[in-house]
Amino acid sequence: MMKSLYLDPQKCTGCLQCEMACAYEHTGAFNPAQSRIKIFNFEHEGRMVPYTCTQCAEAWCLLACPVEAITMDAATGAKVVHDGTCVGCKVCTIACPFGTVNYVAETGKVQKCDLCGGDPECVKACPTGAITYVDADWTGLDRMRAWAGRANSAVL
Amino acid sequence: MGWTRKVLRVNLTTGTCVAEPLNMEWAQDYLGCRGLATKYFTTEVDPKVDPLSPANKMLMVTGPLTGTMASTGGRYSVVTKGPLTGAIACSNSGGYFGAEMKFAGWDMIIFEGKSPKPVYLYVENDRAELLDAAGLWGKSCWDTEETIKASHQDPQIRVCSIGLAGENQVLFACIINDLHRAAGRSGVGAVMGSKNLKAVAIRGTKGFGGIRDFPAFLEVTNQKKKILADNAVTGQGLPKYGTQVLMNVINEMGALPTRNHRDVQFDQASKIGGEAMHEKRPTDGKAQLVTNAACFACTIACGRISKIDQTHFTVTNNPKYWGATGGLEYEAAWALGAANGVGDLEALHYANMLCNEQGMDPITFGTTVGAAMELYELGLLTKEQIGEEAPFGSTKAMAHFAEITARGEGFGKELALGSKRLCAKYGRPDLSMSVKGQEFPAYDGRAIQGMGLAYATSNRGACHLRGYTVASEVLGIPVKTDPHVTEGKAELVKAFQDATGVFDSAGICIFTSFAWGLADVQPQIAAACEGDWSMEKLALMGERIWNMEKQFNLAAGLGKKDDDLPPRLKTEACKTGPAKGLVSGLDKMLPEYYQIRGWNEDGVPKRETLERLGL
């Protein structure tokens, strides 16, 4: 089964445990500045929203890369950056409509979510279940169930 | 490991920023945050120093667990000599600022001297510089943060700052970070203002990799997070109601100080508690509470994010306050509400917003208003003197006082000095509900006897966070004790005070102690830090920190006379509730406490005690 990250802003408290887990997995340090998942705090609305790569099926970052440094992990569907090949041209950061591929000056490479090889650390670190890893074909299942539960016997 | 091993020393007089290595011997004896900075402070600063003079220093400090995945590992403390109390001050704050300091590579920032003109410190990793704050002076904490982020074109900067209260040296001004988290008590914001330091802005992209044993650390912190999640208080009560979960509980047990401690129960408590914040308002059909929120790394998430009723008289013409922002915590709701007899939840949120916006401690502010209202009712303050009628329960007066106190206008200038100075000026010093000049928080020392002793002996003046025996006396954590008796309380208070010193020095939040004991914190410290971190060593360290603070206070001129409660708590019995008829048994508890501490009958640590603690 192909799985996908599922982000629920209503459950996010803004603790940034996910950012630290992501950075530790990829850099070996607790460092939100190097996280591939980001929490955005819309202060005046009281909303905290996790955001990261959605692993597009037709991935513009992958298509844009002139040196084929971004490939698809067949097992997870993740579009993965290969540091050894990446030349830091940043074209992928322009191609991505969502801004989820970013350049890292320190390494001279780009970085993005790689789903941690199929076991995302952000999911395990999230204390409220705001980030889950679910069946990619049924990301709406829980919401369908919730609405189904509200339906009465006569009419939907 | 556990530390970045770097201290930034900022001399505001000369305008220099110099890096120096952290004293690792002290780190082994005092861990970090409160303990370590107090060691630095008491070594470097004359205890007799005028708190608002350039000779006072102000230290911002993280702990070894700050900026890690340990739950609540995001705290920083501000250590200085407090202008409200003349005692050691250490105010702890959450939010994101502390972790950012660590990620920029600093354990501590020491501010010395006084800048000739308003400045702010800008830190980007190793680079630190003082920048002109002429354009920031006069701005609120909220506007200061926004302006700094805009001028550096970096929305990811974390900022702590003072508002008008700190600039005007309101004696209970606090330092606000991340819009609504505060290093709140004892007037640390006034010290910052006295140094012409408007803000500290930090961007840290280095991260923190200084963990002694990463796999062990991740395993143990995960285990401990589960304890927090499974606990009824930290897993359910606090996320849902915040600290406001306590309002009705404390009121029912007759321990909710009301109308300047005249009463111990507030008939409108249910209108200003955590449950009320969830209730839909008749005016707009919305609850005041929008959501809960976490500080950095916190898996409890007790923070409140609220929106005011736009039709409320305080904000009808002021859309600036209509958005979501930090909401009422228990202490603020009590101090702005029950302590004055005000039962209007929207007005309390408004005053709390002003406290956050301009950087004022709502506990001391609210209780000072309570004292002013009692003086008014006694005829010692008149409408002519203060500009309006201000009997207990006057919502309008409370809200107005919040506005003029931060701005330093009219009667606000007198409120800005706190209740001790206010009551002394008008001939009734006994009406200041304070210890060492700092006002009580939201638990009555008559109905919860241990808290009375904890207030009287707290090194930073009356405080619930220096020895929270409420946990035991009310909630039964770790074991239930009878709140009405004095027996055993000296020992209980000492145990809480010493353990709290360790929590505060680790860089974590004291609210974890609803579910964690020292035995839960110890393995997290041990996995993060090099060195021996046995339970015995940590317990001794907590006691060492307490005695070090005490020694500073004694050298500053404080003594046994300052380990006392106002006469009201010792002579006027609780009028209602389960504690009806009780006064504080401080006179019984204090000598026992001194003895258990290894202090003489005047409250001075004996030589053998100091030697045992390595002081």
The CATH number of whichever domain residue A87 belongs to comes to 3.30.70.20
pLDDT score for B134: 98
Q: How far apart are CA B66 and CA B507, in angstroms?
A: 5
User: Is A47 in the same domain as A60?
Assistant: no
A121 located within any domain: yes
Q: How far apart are CA A110 and CA A94, in angstroms?
A: 11
User: Is B404 in the same domain as B494?
Assistant: no
B contact test, residue of A13, A48, A49 with most B CBs within 10 A: A13
The CATH number of whichever domain residue B576 belongs to comes to 1.10.599.10
The nearest CA of chain B is from the CA of A21 a distance in Å of: 8
Residues constituting chain B: 615
Last residue of a domain, one of B398, B415, B432: B432
Chain A positions touching B292 (Cβ under 8 A) are 13
pLDDT score for A151: 81
From B211, B293, B307, residue closest to A14, measured CB to CB: B293
Binning pLDDT at 50, 70 and 90, where does residue B29 land?
A: very high
B228 located within any domain: no
pLDDT score for A154: 59
Q: 3-class DSSP state for residue A154?
A: coil
B519 located within any domain: yes
Q: Tell me, yes or no, if the pTM score tops 0.90.
A: yes
Helix axes B535-556, B33-44, angle to 10 degrees: 40
User: Is A94 in the same domain as A20?
Assistant: no
User: Is B86 in the same domain as B175?
Assistant: yes
- Residue-wise pLDDT tens digits, B553-597: 999 999 999 999 999 999 999 999 999 999 999 999 999 999 999
Q: What is the mean pLDDT of chain B?
A: 98
User: Is A67 in the same domain as A26?
Assistant: no
Binning pLDDT at 50, 70 and 90, where does residue B1 land?
A: confident
Q: Pull the structure tokens for residue B245.
A: 């979960």
Helix axes B586-597, B449-457, angle to 10 degrees: 60
Residues of chain A with pLDDT under 70: 153-156
B209 located within any domain: no
From B68, B298, B306, residue closest to A30, measured CB to CB: B68
A155 located within any domain: no
Q: Is the pLDDT of residue B321 over 80?
A: yes
- Backbone φ/ψ region at B128: left (φ over 0), alpha (ψ -120 to 50), beta: beta
Domain range for B259 is 245-432
User: Is B423 in the same domain as B444?
Assistant: no
A153 located within any domain: no
User: Is B424 in the same domain as B335?
Assistant: yes
A150 located within any domain: no
What percentage of chain B carries pLDDT values higher than 70? 100
pLDDT score for B244: 97
User: Is B250 in the same domain as B356?
Assistant: yes
B32 located within any domain: yes
User: Is A23 in the same domain as A63?
Assistant: no
The HSE-up count of residue B392 (CA atoms within 13 Å, CB side) is 20
The CATH number of whichever domain residue B154 belongs to comes to 3.60.9.10
Inter-chain residue contact A44 with B207, CB threshold 8 Å: no
| Non-local CB neighbours of B167 within 8 Å, separated by 6+ positions | B137, B138, B193, B198
User: Is B373 in the same domain as B520?
Assistant: no
Instruction: Give the phi and the psi of residue B431 in degrees, each rounded to 5.
Output: -85, 0
Chain B positions touching A29 (Cβ under 8 A) are 206-209
Q: 3-class DSSP state for residue B483?
A: coil
User: Is B588 in the same domain as B535?
Assistant: yes
- Residue-wise pLDDT tens digits, B465-504: 999 999 999 999 999 999 999 999 999 999 999 999 999 9
Last residue of a domain, one of B374, B406, B432: B432
User: Is A106 in the same domain as A120?
Assistant: no
The nearest CA of chain A is from the CA of B71 a distance in Å of: 9
CA nearest to B28, candidates B607, B537, B586, B603: B537
User: Is B272 in the same domain as B387?
Assistant: yes
Per the structure, how many domains does chain B have? 3
User: Is A85 in the same domain as A99?
Assistant: yes
pLDDT score for A73: 96
* Contact assessment for residue B75 and residue B37, using Cβ atoms and an 8 Å cutoff: no
User: Is B321 in the same domain as B396?
Assistant: yes
Q: Is the pLDDT of residue B548 over 80?
A: yes
Chain B positions touching A33 (Cβ under 8 A) are 103, 156, 204-207
pLDDT score for A93: 98
pLDDT score for A150: 86
B239 located within any domain: no
The CATH number of whichever domain residue B277 belongs to comes to 1.10.569.10
B214 located within any domain: no
User: Is A29 in the same domain as A65?
Assistant: no
User: In B, what residues contact A, Cβ < 8 A?
Assistant: 67-69, 71, 96, 99, 103, 156, 179, 204-209, 211, 214, 218, 225, 229, 290-299, 301, 303, 305-307, 323-325
User: Is A43 in the same domain as A12?
Assistant: yes
- The residue of chain A nearest to residue B288, with distances taken between CA atoms, is A46
Domain range for A99 is 56-112
For the beta carbon of residue B139, count every other beta carbon within 10 angstroms: 22
Q: Pull the structure tokens for residue B550.
A: 């005490």
B340 located within any domain: yes
Last residue of a domain, one of B432, B453, B473: B432
What percentage of chain A carries pLDDT values higher than 90? 90
Region B427-441: mean pLDDT is 98
B137 located within any domain: yes
* Contact assessment for residue B250 and residue B526, using Cβ atoms and an 8 Å cutoff: no
pLDDT score for A153: 63
User: Is B274 in the same domain as B412?
Assistant: yes
Region B194-215: mean pLDDT is 98
Region B364-383: mean pLDDT is 98
Per the structure, how many domains does chain A have? 2
Torsion of CA B345, B347, B350, B352, to 10 degrees: -70
User: Is B274 in the same domain as B348?
Assistant: yes
User: Is B479 in the same domain as B588?
Assistant: yes
